[in-house]
Amino acid sequence: MHTHTRPTEDSRFKQWGLTRQDDITDGALHYLKEGIVDKNRMRLFGGSYGGYVSLQVVVGDSKRDRDLFMLTSPAKNTDKIKTPIFIAMGSDDVRVPLIHAKEFVKNLERSGGKVEMKVYTGEAHGFNKDENVLDFYGRLDKFFAQYIGEKK
């Protein structure tokens, strides 16, 4: 009989970009080991928290946790990003303010990274207008095709 221990909320707090990434890494390594995916075509995609976890952003107190932010913040570590990034967001997003994405994009471009950004006017934390949803997935499809190519 296996005994599973559930992590406590305290043990997961402030772990974005740290141990919370382990599930993603472990899953990717399992798929590689099983031959389910091609490591040269594997990419990470997510929205809201999934978007943040894709880029390893942390949450905490801006003064007390400053060192942790500098360690894991994508905007402060763009020189370590080696893969092209596509960012799409709403202009009216209050959960993830546009200024955060703009800082990330500016730093990534300064570091020589490849980044594409699309801001949907009048959208908030997610896209509700049909034309924006269709545009987003069309852009995402083109982005993946450009950087991973067609499946052989």
The domain in which residue 55 lies consists of: 9-72
Q: Is residue 3 part of a domain?
A: no
The pair of structure tokens assigned to 6 is 């559930």
Among 24, 48, 72, the domain boundary falls at: 72
Question: From the CA atom positions of the chain, what is the Rg in Å?
Answer: 17
The pTM of the full predicted model, rounded to 2 decimals, is: 0.71
Contacts 24+ apart (CB under 8 A), 121-125: 121/91, 122/90, 122/91, 122/92, 123/89, 123/90, 123/91, 123/92, 123/93, 124/90, 124/92, 124/93, 124/94, 125/48, 125/90, 125/93, 125/94, 125/95, 125/96
17 part of a folded domain:
yes
Total structural domains within the chain? 2
Tell me the pLDDT tens digit for each residue of 106-117: 999 999 999 999
Do 113 and 59 belong to one domain?
Answer: no
pLDDT tens, position by position, 40-99: 887 777 776 666 665 656 456 668 877 877 777 777 888 988 889 999 999 999 888 899
Kindly tell me the burial class for residue 133, based on how many C-beta atoms sit within 10 Å of its own C-beta (0-12, 13-18, 19 or more): middle
